[in-house]
Amino acid sequence: MKTTLKLFTFLMVVFSFLACSDDDGDAVSEFTVTTISPESGTVGTEIRITGTDFPSDASNISVSFNGIPATVTSVSTTEIVTTVPSGATSGQIEISANGFRKTSAATFTVLSNLVSDTVSNLEAPQTGGQGQPIGGPFTKFSFETGAVTDSETDWDIAFRGTTIAVNGGTATGTNEEPTRNGNGGATVQNGIFSDITSADGLSFDQDAAGSFAVPAGSGEGWYNYNPATFTVTPIPGRILVFRTHDGKFAKVEIISYYRDAPAEPDAFLNESRVYTFNYVYNPNEGETALE
């Protein structure tokens, strides 16, 4: 019954359109574009173009992003919905319909995809400890390359034992710490990894004299130390959100502090100070999205 009604309505609509086109077939009006939203996005992002007098048949419309044709997924007289095509680059959006052609006033920015990856077995050795002064160089990591780096400047976070430094702020006073020359920062959030969808609105701490942006110590930052089993385990629900040295954003969930991430580490059998962590990195300048 419902289907019949829908079909009937559809036929009526088609009929009325056909009837109209019979009446004023050649009088095609020029369409207008009022907004394009959003003005940036990764490949596959849905883009809505609103305006007036769009043709109602998608086959009469073509949209391209800096010359790369895009597929129109739905259309009405006031809205065209399309997606950023694969291979698109930043530039103007061009819309053609009913013989008219228009280009967007503003440049559409095609964003790089979020990088989602796992870093396995990052070694973060230290010397001393257990009453002796802690030392040894930090292992520096760059989200841009997704790898450990020796660069003095292009690093974002650095590991030594359970301590995590950021490339932002000032020296904390610990031995052999890397020089901070970027604008990095960190904040510890609670949630599951996918809960943290954006860095927008978060306030970031930087390393400072006597304190790290990711608080050091059991139960304070990212880990718990169990004095009965001598194991270090990540605190469930602690997600670290970083601002990189060059102002981009990433989130990190530490999975393990032991080589090959055993489910139940044994402090005597499994090598410690070996990080495995998941991260999502937004490589786009000024973009806060993390999901």
Partner 1 sequence: MSLNKNNLTLIFFTLYLTFTIGQVEERRDSILTQDLEEVVVTATRTVRQLSSLPLPVTLIPKTQLEQTGVTRLDEILNEQTGIIMTPDATVGGGEGVQIQGIASDYVLVLIDGVPVVGRSSGNLDLSRFAIGNIKQIEVVKGPSSSLFGSEALGGVINIITEKPSSENISGQLSHRMATFNHHNSNFSINQRKEDLGYSFFVDRLSTDGYDLASGDVGQTVNPFDNYTLSGRLFYDASEKLDFFVSGRFFHQDFDVAPSTSMEQDLNLLVRANHDPSSKTNLQYELYYTNYITDEESLDILTDEVLLANDFNQKLFRPEVRFNQKFGENTFTLGVGGNLETLQRNLFANNVSFFSQYVFSQYDFTPLEGLNVIAGIRFDNHSEYNSQLSPKLSARYEISPSLAVKGSVGSGFKAPDFRQLYLDFTNASGGGYSVFGKEVEAQGIQRLQENGEIANLAVNPAQLGQRLNAESSIGYNLGMTLKSGKLTTEVNLFRNDFTNLIDTQILASKTNGQNVFGYINRERVYTQGLETDIKFNGIKNLSLSGGYQLLFAYDKDQEDALVQGNVFARDPETLQTVRLERSQYFGLENRSRHTFNFKVFYEIPKWDANANLRVVYRSKFGLTDRNGNDLLDDFDNSFVDGYSLVNLSLGKTLFKHYQLQLGANNLLDFKGSNPLALQDNEVLINPGIQLFTRLNITF
115 binds partner 1 (CB under 8 A): no
1 binds partner 1 (CB under 8 A): no
172 Cβ contact list (under 8 Å, min separation 6): 165, 207, 208, 209, 210, 211, 212
With contacts defined by CB under 8 A, name the span among 46-54, 135-143, 151-159, 222-230 that binds partner 1.
Answer: 222-230
Do the beta carbons of residue 233 and residue 223 sit within 8 Å?
A: yes
12 binds partner 1 (CB under 8 A): no
CB of 187 to partner 1, least distance (A): 16
Binder among 135, 216, 283, 289 for partner 1 (CB under 8 A): 216
25 binds partner 1 (CB under 8 A): no
CB of 235 to partner 1, least distance (A): 5
CB of 105 to partner 1, least distance (A): 44
CB of 287 to partner 1, least distance (A): 24
126 binds partner 1 (CB under 8 A): no
CB of 240 to partner 1, least distance (A): 12
Interface mask (CB under 8 A) for partner 1, residues 129-168, using x and -?
A: -xx-------------------------------------
Binder among 218, 260, 286, 291 for partner 1 (CB under 8 A): 218
The CA-CA-CA angle for residues 223, 189, 287, to 5°, reads: 130
Rounded distance between C-alpha atoms, residue 46 and residue 44, angstroms: 6
Binder among 82, 139, 256, 272 for partner 1 (CB under 8 A): 256
The CA-CA-CA angle for residues 121, 157, 264, to 5°, reads: 35
What residues from 227 to 246 belong to the interface with partner 1 (CB under 8 A)? 227-229, 233-239
> For residue 110, how many other CB atoms are within 10 A of its CB?
21
State the DSSP string of 145-173.
Answer: TTEEE--SSS--EEEETTEEEESBB---S
Interface mask (CB under 8 A) for partner 1, residues 179-208, using x and -?
A: -----------xxxx---------------
State the DSSP string of 56-124.
Answer: S-GGGEEEEETTEEE-EEEE-SSEEEEEPPTT--SB-EEEEETTEEEE-SSPBEEEPPPEEEEEEEEE-
13 Cβ contact list (under 8 Å, min separation 6): none
DSSP 16: H
Rounded distance between C-alpha atoms, residue 256 and residue 275, angstroms: 6
Question: Of 49 and 114, which has the nearer Cβ to partner 1?
Answer: 114
Binder among 66, 189, 224, 288 for partner 1 (CB under 8 A): 224
C-alpha of 233 from chain center: 26
Rounded distance between C-alpha atoms, residue 223 and residue 232, angstroms: 6
213 binds partner 1 (CB under 8 A): no
Rounded distance between C-alpha atoms, residue 140 and residue 152, angstroms: 9
170 binds partner 1 (CB under 8 A): no
CB of 89 to partner 1, least distance (A): 35
Which residues of the shown chain bind partner 1 in the complex (CB under 8 A)? 130-131, 190-193, 210-211, 215-220, 224, 226-229, 233-239, 253, 255-256, 261, 263-264, 266, 269, 276, 278
